[in-house]
Amino acid sequence: MTKKILLFTLICAGLTACQTLPTASEYLTRGDGFVKDGKIPQAIKAYNKALAMNPDLTAVYASRGAAYFFSGDYARAQEDFLTVVEKNPYQADGYTALGSALAARGDYQNAIKMFDISIRLNPRKPETFFSRAGVFLMLKEYDKAIADYTSVILLAPAADVYNARGAAYLQKGEQENAQKDFITARNGAMPDKLNDYRMID
């Protein structure tokens, strides 16, 4: 081997050694990018790599749980969100996400318990009231659903919230109140939907 080839090989090896390997945080960022692009399987692979490097990163469990949730794998989502609240019992969004996974699996009573904890920790998060209202609606507890939708409207009015409360009024047999909400929802003076929700901020 000539000296030039040997020198070139050593330089290449040195440059390779200087390059930093991806960190757990970088895999988390990649995973989040894949989710935004709708590439859930790739996102989950990236999150798995992040957790292999650092199993204590709560944010990765939160993001992977959301990816599982949005792909319809509610059991795995529940596991990841449970890990989030075990690692950080003061993470209000973690309880909301866990409640959403439980509700998606039909465990409404435990879902409500999780939403209750989340609301105690952060009573100004409209998405939690919205999620709990949806469960109350499923359980035909219309007064509780209406109360929660009203809480959402006070925090962040949106057309879909008025429509949801209108539907609850309709189920309760209060046609006039339902009609008022449906008319308000159509007036165009507010956002169409409640803020986009990342499950866990």
Class of domain 24-123 (CATH, top level): mainly alpha
Q: Which fold has domain 129-194?
A: 1.25.40
pTM attached to this predicted model: 0.84
Mean pLDDT of the region 32-51: 94
Span(s) in the chain for CATH 1.25.40.10: 24-123, 129-194
Q: pLDDT per residue over 105-157, tens digit each?
A: 999 999 999 999 999 999 999 999 999 999 999 999 999 999 999 999 999 99
pLDDT at 30: 93
pLDDT at 11: 40
Which has the higher per-residue pLDDT, 89 or 19? 89
pLDDT at 7: 35
d(CA 168, CA 150): 11
Q: To 10 degrees, what angle do helices 40-53 and 24-36 make?
A: 170
pLDDT-derived band at 194 (thresholds 50, 70, 90) equals confident
**Strand segments (E) across the chain:** none
pLDDT-derived band at 189 (thresholds 50, 70, 90) equals confident
pLDDT at 164 over 80: yes
Q: Percent of the chain having pLDDT more than 70?
A: 87
Please give the mean pLDDT across all residues of the chain.
Answer: 88
Q: pLDDT per residue over 11-30, tens digit each?
A: 434 433 334 558 988 999 99
